[in-house]
Structure 1
Amino acid sequence: MSLSGNLKTVSFPDILQLLATGKKTGVLEAKTATRQKEVAFKGGNIIYASSINSSEDLLGNMLLRRGKISKGDLERAITLHKQTGRQLGTTLIDMGLFDKQEIGECLKLQIEEIVYNLFSWGEGDFVFHEDAKPKNAPFTIEMNTMNVVMEGTRRIDEWLEIQKVIPPDDALLDVVLSPKINREEITISLDEFRILALINGDRTVPDLINMSPMGEFVTCRSVYKLINQKLVESIGKRDAEEPEVEDEEEVLLAIVFQLYNQCFFRIRSTVEALVGEGNNCLPAFSSQYRGGVLNFFPGLDPSSELAPSFDKFLHAVKALPSAIRHHHLMGALENMLTEQLEYVFRLLGTGAYRRAMGNVKKEISQPLATRRELVKRFGLDENLYQTMRRADKVVKMIREQ
């Protein structure tokens, strides 16, 4: 089976579903300029995953962060592992520090972190090596791939809600000593308790992620729930070492430019995957938007040579009267996004619409997280969520007719 391409045009969940339904055996390799991950399959199920050039995925570091091993024991194990050439997991068992079941449980968590991280990749080359075996795997496990797809998709949707509440990266978090809530109504999970124990008024969300015995998603979800229960609050900003002087409008426009170009490209890719690249139905429909600043959102691959220039976009926007430029730009983009999603439904039905909406949701999480404080202040995130809800309402009305 020959399977290769880029995650811009074929989503990671779609690849997993294809390998699962085909009960494929082999290794899926995905990489960017700075990251490389491999996921191994047997009979369509995930059995192993590894990450190259990413220390947070290493088994030893995960054990250390979870408090399962001391730094001294880990250093001794790594030294012995290098001397003998045996896998670190096997070395830890040989040293009597863990049994096979404990290593297997930690390995499963490591594999889950690697695989779920791939759901957030908006780009990256991939290739599936059929019948290849995972390299240097100390153990293998078996995970139902379709369950992983469902959980990964759920995490994407949940992550959008989490980002609405999580404070900016420079915000210090502290425990609310006298929460205005009935103590009998307070219930927190073990994950939330672990994060609560790390919060001391001097740490930010990135600090907690680095210290947490869980992955980024579980850590941020715990912070989200603790804030919603009014058990944790932001108490101010961490003093910057050197204040940055920047043009906030240009930063915001850069986020908008990236965000909506990726969204329209995702919609176009979804349609072309179903009707073929030679079918110009969507470009023909989108031609009505040509004119003014919307010329810079053609639905092309943002990384291609044909993609519009941000500098030219910035010049065009700043040519508009300053009092109306933001309202004019965002209103036009939101209408364009709603109408394109509605068109996908009218053209290809519910399944294609949901797929396009899912791809858009996947695409927006990273740009919206770039500068959360700025995004929230200008309402960029909330306006986008309202746009998607409006598209859902329109589609629902059409279906009920």
Structure 2
Amino acid sequence: MGRAKAITHPSMSFRGDISSFSLGDVFQNLATNQKTGTLRVQSRDVECYVLFRDGKAVSCSDNKNPSISAWLVEKEIVTAEQMDEAQKRYRRAKKKSLGEILKDMEVLSLEDYKSYLSTLVQESMYEALSLQEGTFEFLEGLEEDLPNREPLAAGISFQAQSLLMEGARRSDDWQNIRRHMPSESEIYLVPPASRAKLLSETEDEVTKQAIALLDGTRTLKKVIAKLPYTRFDACKAIAHLIMEKKLRPLDGAALPQVASREGDPKEVLATLKAILEREPNNRELLERAARLSTQCGNRDEAATLWKRLAISFLEEGILPNAEKCLEKSIELNPKDLAAWEKLQDAIARGGDTRRLESFSLRFARHFQKLGLPEVVRDHLSEALKRFPRHVDLQLAFAEARFKLGEQKPSVESLLALGEERKCAGDLANAERVFAGVLCLDKTNSRARALFDEIRSGATAKRREARRKALRSACVAACALLVMGFLCYDFYVRRELFAITRAVYAESKLEPSKERELISRLRALEAKRPFSFTTVHELDPLRAALERKAAAAKR
């Protein structure tokens, strides 16, 4: 009866497993020993609290059955406006029960209210007794908190024996219900073609009204709430229809019908979410649900849906679509670390190192603004393995470490980086690094001196002077090299002239002198092989003389 909150009790009596010690035995034990306290039961998605006083069950609250106020509105016994007014008075008048307030408002008699409340509490206990797996824990001490306030004020109490008898009778029915209705958030519908025939063949009034409501627009939970019967009777009728396959669940094939439906976007969204429980990886459903959630202002829910859609794209390697979905998720929920990490993974898999480098810096700056230096440090420690020379990443990493108490190593690492950049001639980045050091440690004299030196231009001037000197030295060396080569070539030319000065015309060369001249030219060529004269003048002359000598011999 309404979702119960965890309660702190003064002492614990016992706990156990339902599969080895049934709840019926627990109820019997508590009744026999006339215990007072709260029995907490957990089984899968069910959490239930049963309050005992002197061995009698006096209250039951769980996360399946509605509270008495919600139940009265759902069954249209009290209007929503009347209940809102009653709740306002209820919060102000702490000594009056809700039933007394509704009586004062002349909305509902106190006798009828107690009857409805008794039935609701009793139904919750029967449902709890049907659980066959899970855990229980009994905590001694009476707790008059909000879920128990109304039953205690109404003086409701139930003997354990009567509860056990009816609970045992219903147990098989509840097992059948849970087998065919594992989730009440799903949507079922009666096929329109068979609706009229089914209504005419059905004699049970509960089933008839259930068929009328199962039109594919409501979750099972809403259908159960809408039926003017107990939760047990409503669930039993619906489970019977599902067992006989007279209902079918709404699936992805119904998306066009759902998308074209007019009305409250929240209702359409609830339908889409119900279908998603059956088809969690249907991308079309996920995208539609994400857009509707955004439209309805459910930012966190929309962000989760966009992230789920992105994960489905990532699994198939459709990276551009995954990145778009993750960007939307991050826009809706900027604090979602998992979405940021997924986006980083998608960019890394794309292989664009420049984008990854830029994203790493964006990631770091975002979580710096959120005041999460530990996240920044862990992220950048990995990013710097890929981009160890990136100055902005180094600065952000040092800042995060400094905030986490690593002051000395972070400052020293930045000083080393700044000096390295300075030696490499990257004065702009060196200046930024030293400025970063001073932001962290304003009294650092070493960083101040280096920063001022770069800012004043002295380093740049010295570096420019060295560059000019180097350029001048290079020009002078080149000039000397050219001059040396010219002198060397002139010397070779002079030797060649000395060898051939007796020759003024090829035709007047004495035959006996040809072999001597060729021999001397070959010696000069071997001695000075790398001069311009040797390559371009000596070779042709020697070749001509060899041809002439060969002709004369013939």
Question: What is the TM-score of this pair, normalised by structure 2?
Answer: 0.37
Question: What is the TM-score of this pair, normalised by structure 1?
Answer: 0.49
Greater RCO between the two (CA within 8 Å, min separation 6)? 1
Larger Rg: 2
